[in-house]
A and B are shown apart, each in its own frame.
Chain A
Amino acid sequence: MTSTNTSDKPTVGVVGAGAFGSAIANLLAENQPVILYTRLPEVYESVTATRNNRGRMIHENVRITLDLDDVASNCKLIYPILPSANFREKIQETGPVSPSDHVLIHGTKGVDVQLPRGEQLTASYKLNPKLVNTMTEVILQETIVRRVGCLAGPNLRPRSWPVNLPPRSLPANSMR
C-alpha cells in the first residue's frame, strides 16, 4: 500500500466496519485520514494489532475507534455505513454529537418501518407509506443534519462474512 501525504486534508469518518464500511474507509484513505468506527471490540483489537478485519486488510491511513464521539468531533464529513435494521438507533446515538455543519452520506439499503405503538408487522399487515422511511429520512428526522447524501453500490458482503447483528426486524421480501 502506498501512503500519500494526507496531513493537510480534513479527516473523514466512517461509521460501521462491515464489508461495505471497510471498503469505503479504504477508498477514502487513499486521499485523506479516516476514522473508522466499530461497535465490536474484537474487530477493534484485530485491526489495531494486525490491520486485519475478518480477512480484509485495512489501509494504514485508517484509524479504528470504538468511540462515536471521536468520529463526530473530528470529522465534518461522515459516512454512516450501517445495516438498516439498527440504523435509526445508531443515528439517534450520533444525533447529539452532530452539529449543523456536518455532512452525512449513508450507504444503507433497505427501509425503516415505524409501526404505531402496540402493532406488529405480519405478512397481512397493510403498510401505510407514511410509516416507511428511507435512511435519508431517518437522518433528517433524528438529527439536525440537513446535508444528507446517499451512496449506492453492489452487495459486498460475501456469504462467508460473519454476521453479528441483532435479528432483523423485517422478514426478507416483506417490503415488496
Chain B
Amino acid sequence: VEHVGQGDTPSLIPPKFPYFAPVATKVKNEDGWLYDPILPDPETWPILQLSRNREEFLKELVALSIANVKEELGNSPTNLKDELARTLYSERIRVTQTPWKADAVDEKEFWSSVKRDMVQIGTNHEQPQVEGHEELLERIVSRYADEIAGVFDPGAYEFAKGFTTTLFARLLNASQGKGLLRFFKMRANLHDKIHLVGHIEHIRLLAQKGTVVMVPTHFSNLDSMLIGWAIQSIGLPPFLYGAGLNLFGIKIMAWFMSRLGAYKVDRRKKNMLYLETLKAYSTLSLRKECNGLFFPGGTRSRSGMLEKRLKLGLLSTAMEAQRLNYLEDGAQAKKIFVVPVTINYNFVLEAQSLIDQHLKQSGQEQYYVENDDFSTSMKIFKFVWNFFTASSEIAVRFGRPMDLFGNKVDNEGVSLDPQGRAVDIRGYFESNGTITKDLQRDGEYTKMLGERIVQAYHREAVVMCSHVLAFVAFNIIKRKYKRMDLFGLMRLPAEDLIIPQEQLYQAVETLLPVLRTMRLNKQLKLEKVLKGGTLDEVIAKGMANMGVYHAKMPLMQNEDGDYQSEDIKLLFFYHNRTVGYDLHKYF
C-alpha cells in the first residue's frame, strides 16, 4: 500500500473523528494505480436498470413532471393555458433563431403541430378546453422527457472506458520520448499526469451506503470527459450527469457522452415545462439510487475564478429526492451525500475565449458563443495531444463528503454534528414530528448547501505553482499602473508588461509562507512543490507549466532573464484562480 498523489500527502485525521477512512491510499494493481470497482457486475448498476426500464421510467417521469408543473401553476387551468402559450412562443423563436446540430430533425414540425392544436382547442367548443390543454402539456413534457433521458449501454461503456484510458495512455507515452515511435512502446502511468487525490476511500464506502452526488468546479469542456474517467478510476460505477445539448453536436463528444451515462440539458430552453421535467428527471434518478454529477456553477467559469455563486436548480432536486426518500421509504430511506470536487488545471484550452467573454459581459452570462476553441473534433484532439505532450498536470481532488445540510458524515454515512456526535437528519424535513413538503424551507436548505459547497471549493482547491506566478505577476503589473482600471490594463502593450526578475522572486518569496500557513489552517491545498519546494523550484515548475498550450504566453522569461506577459488577458484569467483568498494584501 502506498500513498497517492504527488500533490498531496495523506492528511492527518483529526483525533476527534476516528470514523473517517484514511485519505487517498490505494493499492497498485497490474494496470497501474487503480482502485478495484466497488460494484464489479454492471448488472447491479442502478444506471443500467434505469436505462433498461426506460419506458417505465419515462412514464413515471412524465407523471411527476406534470404534477409538479400543475402545482407550480396553482392547479389553475387559466395559468396552464398561459404557460403553454408562453412555452410555444419561446420554443418557436428558439427553433427559428438558434437551431443547433444536435436538435431533433422534426423540431419544427412538432412545434407547428402544437401551435395548430393550440388554435384548434381555442375554437373547438365540443371538447372542454382543459382537456385539450392537459393533453398538450403531456405531449410537450413527454417530448422533453424523451430528449433528456439518455440510454446507457454497458458494452459501449466498457469500450469507451478502455478507449479513453488507451487514448490517454498512448498520447502520454508519446511525450516520454521523441516522436511517434514511442507512441506504441512504453507503458506509462496516466496517474503521473492526472492526480486523483482526496477522500477517495471515504467516498467509495459511502457509495455503497447511499447515493453520491458529485459537484465539481467547471473550467473546461474537458471536465466532463475527465471526471467520467476519474470516477471510473476510483472504482465507482458510472455517474449520471447532465451535458449541454450543444456538445452533442460535436461528434467525439456526443459519442463519449451518450455512452457514459449523460443526459441532455438544453440551456436555450428556459421555459417552466422544460425546467420542471429536467428537475423531475434528476429527482427520480437520484431516488432510484443513480449517483449523480452536477456542475453547480452551471457553466464553465468565464473569469477563471472558482465558482462563487451556484445554480441551485439541480441541487434542489437532491434535497427533494432526500425528502421523498424519508417520506416514502421510512427506516430504509437511503441518504444522499454531496462530494465537492475541484479540478485543478495548469492551463485551460478555452482560456482565451472564456476570458474574452468574461470581459465583454463583465461576468454576466447573457449569450452563449457556440464557436469557441472547443467546437471541432480536431481542436479537441489537438488539445489532448498538447496536454499530454506538454509537461502539464491536472489534479482532481475529491473533497470531504457531507450530507445535504453540510454536516460531516462518517464511514457508515451517519451524519455528525460539529462536535463529532451522531445525529439524525430526518428532522430537518419535519414540522411537529411529521415530514412535510415545504418548498420555501427546502429552498433555504439548498441555498445553505450551496454556500457550504463554495466554501469547500476554496478549501479543496489545489493551488499550483503556475497559479501563484500568474497571481503574483498580474498584481505586480496592477500595482505599477495603479490608476488604471481593469480595461485599461487589458489594453497595455506588451513592452509595458515586463517584470524585473528580482521583483517577481521577491513577491513569490513573500507569498510562499502565507500560502503554507493557509494550508496548515486547512484554507486551501497546495501542489507538492509549493508545499515544500524551494523558491527556485516553485518558480521553475510554475514557468514550465504556465499556459503551455497558448500561442501567446501569459508569462514568459525574456532574453534578459526578466519576465514578460505576451497576453495580459490570459494572465488575468490564470490570476483569477487564486483571488478570493485575500492574498492581494501582501503586495
A residues near B (Cβ < 8 Å) are 10, 76, 92, 95-96, 98-102, 116, 128, 130, 140-144, 146-147
Contact = CB atoms under 8 A, between A and B. Distances in A.
B432 A143 contact: no
B430 interface: yes
Nearest to A128: B582
Interface in B404-447: 405, 407, 415, 417-419, 421, 423-428, 430-433, 441, 444-445
Interface string B148-167: 00000000000000000000
Contact of B418 (A99, A116, A143, A147): A143
Contacts of A128: 582
23 contacts: A92-B419, A95-B418, A95-B419, A96-B417, A96-B421, A99-B423, A100-B405, A100-B423, A100-B426, A100-B427, A100-B428, A101-B427, A101-B428, A116-B521, A130-B582, A140-B448, A141-B418, A143-B417, A143-B418, A144-B405, A144-B407, A144-B423, A146-B448
Nearest to B521: A116
B418 A144 contact: yes
B432 A10 contact: yes
A141 B425 CA distance: 16
Nearest to B431: A101
A27 to B, nearest CB: 21
Contacts of B423: 99-100, 144
A140 to B, nearest CB: 7
Interface magnitude class on chain B: 20 to 34
A77 B428 CA distance: 13
The dominant DSSP class at the A interface is loop
A102 B441 CA distance: 13
A109 B33 CA distance: 55
Contacts of B405: 100, 144, 146
A29 to B, nearest CB: 20
Contacts of A76: 432
Contacts of A146: 405, 428, 444-445, 448
A129 B428 CA distance: 29
A141 B417 CA distance: 10
B550 to A, nearest CB: 34
A127 B457 CA distance: 24
B430 to A, nearest CB: 5
Contact of B417 (A10, A95, A147): A95
Contacts of B445: 146
Nearest to B582: A128
Contacts of A96: 417, 419, 421
A141 B444 CA distance: 16
A120 B415 CA distance: 35
Contacts of B427: 99-102
B421 A99 contact: no
B354 to A, nearest CB: 28
A147 B429 CA distance: 11
A98 B415 CA distance: 14
A147 B432 contact: no
B430 A101 contact: yes
Contacts of B433: 101
A146 B427 CA distance: 10
